[in-house]
């Protein structure tokens, strides 16, 4: 009847896709900005900086 056709998976090059790189860069930028804001709050002795939820609320 013939040879069955099997699907060959695409070769994984190990390189991240453009979308993954873009998403990781965006996440990194958001975290860096949040950390910078948190540091500024600590340096200014802002009372909210002592709250462990302060960083969570900025995100």
pLDDT tens by residue, 9-57: 767 777 778 888 899 999 999 999 999 988 887 777 655 555 666 656 5
Cα 52 to Cα 45: distance, rounded to the nearest angstrom: 14
* Residue 4 covered by a domain: no
- From the list 43, 40, 37, 42, the residue with the least C-alpha distance to 57 is 37
Based on the structure, what is the number of domains in the chain?
Answer: 1
* Residue 10 covered by a domain: no
* Residue 44 covered by a domain: yes
* Residue 35 covered by a domain: yes
Please state whether the predicted TM-score (pTM) of the whole model is above 0.95: no
* Residue 41 covered by a domain: yes
* Residue 27 covered by a domain: yes
Domain extent, residue 41, equals 18-58
Contact 37, 54 (CB under 8 A): no
Cα 40 to Cα 3: distance, rounded to the nearest angstrom: 67
pLDDT score for 20: 86
pLDDT score for 27: 94
């Amino acid at each position: 009847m013939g040879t069955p056709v099997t699907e060959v998976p695409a070769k994984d090059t190990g390189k991240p896709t453009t979308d993954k790189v873009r998403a990781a860069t965006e996440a990194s930028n958001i975290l860096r900005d949040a950390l910078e804001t948190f540091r500024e709050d600590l340096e200014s002795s802002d009372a909210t900086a002592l709250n462990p939820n302060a960083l969570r609320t900025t995100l």
